[in-house]
Amino acid sequence: ILVSCNQPLSTGEDPTVDLVVGLDRRSADGLWIPNTEQHRWDPSDPEEHTRLLTAEPKALRVTRARAIRLAKAENKRDAEVPLCSFNLEAIGLMFVGPGQDVAAALLALWENGADDLRKRLTPDPAHVSPPIKVADRDFAIDRLEAAARSLRTALEHDYDISVVRAELRRLWPEFVASTDGGLSKAQILAEMKTGSSLHVTAVGGLSATAGVPLKNTRSYGTVLN
């Protein structure tokens, strides 16, 4: 069931919500979820997935969420998407650990995720559903490894902004400007939606009008200008 509220956001976007019917499983944990492609009911436990992703401690939860969002942004940078979002969340649950910053967490997600995917399909974190399907496993592994290489190179050359920018643009071309002081595609799109003129503030930030900074794309972290 597709639910539409027809109340666009201030950005002009008018998102919809997919409402899926789930039935309690009498003899096991989780729900029966309709599989419209195979015309059957599949077991799943989305409530347990949510509990795992939102569990304490807060520091780990926040870092993992940010790393997963960055991984999802990279995953969708091309028309051919290697992994589904749920697969990345499951990999994040397995390999992002306490005490990591976002960069270390993302590197662990990509490097360890590639190694694990080479051995097996990613298991369901709730242990209810079968392993998560991947359309092209070799392609997915290659993308994870390539992303990890770019991030590791950027971290190892953090003294050279040109190297960092080049490597990060491979991962998030929409959000990293091609030149120092330039605008990313995301920032240009933000200006087009607001109809304002962009300028650089005294502290080096971007602003649409005096004293009104552009909305930061926090879902994917700080944009490199």
The answer on pLDDT for 129 being more than 70 is yes
Closest CA to 100 of 66, 124, 70: 66
21, pLDDT greater than 90: no
Please report the pLDDT score of residue 72 as a whole number. Answer: 96
- Which residue is it, tokens 């662990």? 108
Please report, in angstroms and rounded to a whole number, the separation of the first and last CA atoms in the chain: 41
In tens, the pLDDT along 67-108 reads 999 999 999 998 899 999 999 999 999 999 999 999 999 999
Residue carrying the six token digits 């027809």: 6
Distance, CA of 205 to CA of 183 (rounded, Å): 11
Provide DSSP, 152-217.
Answer: HHHHHTTT-HHHHHHHHHHH-TTTB-SSTT---HHHHHHHHHHTPPPEE-TTS-EEEETTEEPPP-
> Cβ distance 161 to 81 under 8 Å?
no
pLDDT at residue 216 greater than cutoff 60: no
Peptide bond preceding 57: is omega within 30 degrees of 0, i.e. cis? yes
pLDDT given for residue 37 in this prediction:
86
Average pLDDT over residues 3-22: 81
**Poorest-confidence range of 3-12, 105-114, 201-210?**
201-210
Strands 23-24 and 31-35: antiparallel
Type of residue at 117 = L
> If we measure between CA atoms, which residue out of 102, 95, 100, 38 comes closest to residue 69?
102
Closest CA relative to residue 92, chosen from 74, 69, 68: 68
Checking if the pLDDT of 212 tops 70, the result is no
pLDDT tier at 176, thresholds 50, 70, 90: confident
Beta-bridge partner residues of 33: 42
pLDDT digits (tens, 9 = 90+) for 23-51: 999 989 999 999 888 899 999 999 999 99
Provide the pLDDT for residue 9. Answer: 82
When computed from its CA atoms, the radius of gyration of the chain, rounded to whole angstroms, is: 20
Q: Would you state the pLDDT for residue 184?
A: 61
pLDDT at 145: 98
Q: Cα(165)–Cα(176) distance, rounded to whole angstroms?
A: 7
pLDDT at 182 over 90: no
> What would the two tokens of residue 190 be?
């933000």
pTM above 0.85, yes or no: no
pLDDT tens-digit series, residues 153-174:
999 998 998 899 899 999 998 8
